[in-house]
């Protein structure tokens, strides 16, 4: 993947995600509806979201398990959250997990998935800075997810969202970038503990 392409994709994701989350946090429900209708919606079928009455392994009445069989990963999330997905370009996809009851972006996060053709097992701050020199990367740490997959986590700044928690995962030729506001850090950590590749 060329440096320019990766930079363009990261800028597109951060900017588009920030604008989408900002619009979702606005006051006008009419504007929200128009914005949502204007988004190209592409379901990442098939995915399985279990029912409360039929709990699957590891799921409680307070959590649901998201299973994505297109990208072969799964995670638990709070049962009161809503999941939606849409395409972002020809090969990229976004999953948005949000709290419909409060309509606050403090309890939402997005997962951006994009093809990644470099032969590295885990993203590094140096690799990110090579493509995006101005990207703020504070307190970067390599962590291990629930299934043993290594990931890079860090804090960053987004012009629209403010301080954000960023998680970068590379698996089977796909780069996953998870973005949430810093305030969501405690529960996003719980979500990431349950993340597994199938």
pLDDT band, residue 105 (cuts 50/70/90): low
Q: How far is CA 74 from the centre of its chain?
A: 13
Place of tokens 């990766």: 6
Give me the percent of the chain exceeding a pLDDT of 90: 31
User: How distant is the alpha carbon of residue 76 from its chain centre?
Assistant: 13
pLDDT tier, 1 (very low <50, low <70, confident <90, very high otherwise) = very low
The pLDDT mean for the chain works out to: 73
Output the CA–CA distances (angstroms, integers) from residue 71 to 77, 127, 175, in the order listed: 17, 23, 11
Looking at residue 19, what is its pLDDT?
44
Distance between CA atoms of residues 71 and 69, nearest Å: 6
Q: Are 72 and 197 in contact, with CB atoms under 8 Å apart?
A: yes
**How far does Cα 83 stand from its chain's mean position?**
11
Is the distance from CB of 177 to CB of 168 less than 8 angstroms?
yes
DSSP annotation of 183: G
Which whole-number Å values give the CA distances from 109 to 39, 112, 133, 152, 174, in the listed order? 17, 10, 24, 16, 19
Tokens found for residue 113: 């998935």
d(CA 194, CA 18): 25
pLDDT at residue 141 in the model = 92
pLDDT cut 70: percent of the chain above it: 64
144-181 residue pLDDT tens: 988 889 999 999 998 888 899 999 999 999 999 999 99
Instruction: Summarize the confidence of residues 50-66 as an average pLDDT.
Output: 57
Q: Which of 110, 111, 99 is nearest to 25 (CA)?
A: 99
Choice between 22 and 119, residue whose per-residue pLDDT is larger: 119
Give residue 30's pLDDT: 38
pLDDT for position 195? 93
Architecture of domain 3-51+61-197: 3-Layer(aba) Sandwich (3.40)
Residues 6 or more apart in contact with residue 138 via CB below 8 angstroms: 154, 155, 156
**For range 102-126, the mean pLDDT:** 85
In this prediction, residue 89 has a pLDDT band, given cuts at 50, 70 and 90, of low
């Amino acid at each position: 993947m060329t440096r320019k392409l990766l930079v363009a994709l990261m800028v597109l994701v951060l900017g588009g995600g920030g604008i989408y989350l900002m619009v979702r946090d606005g006051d006008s429900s009419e504007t929200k509806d128009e914005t949502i209708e204007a988004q190209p919606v592409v379901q990442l079928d098939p995915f399985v979201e279990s029912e409360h009455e039929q709990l699957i392994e590891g799921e409680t009445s307070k959590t649901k398990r998201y299973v994505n069989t297109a990208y072969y990963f799964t995670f638990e999330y709070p049962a009161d959250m809503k999941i939606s997905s849409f395409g972002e370009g020809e090969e990229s996809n976004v999953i948005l997990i949000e709290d419909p009851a409060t309509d606050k972006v403090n309890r939402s996060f997005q997962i951006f998935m994009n093809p990644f053709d470099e032969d590295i097992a885990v993203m590094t701050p140096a690799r990110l800075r090579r493509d995006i020199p101005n990207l703020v990367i504070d307190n970067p740490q390599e962590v291990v997810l629930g299934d043993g997959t290594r990931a890079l986590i860090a804090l960053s700044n987004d012009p629209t969202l403010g301080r954000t928690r960023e998680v970068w995962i590379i698996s089977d030729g796909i780069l996953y970038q998870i973005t949430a506001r810093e305030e969501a850090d405690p529960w996003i950590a719980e979500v990431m503990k349950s993340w597994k590749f199938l």
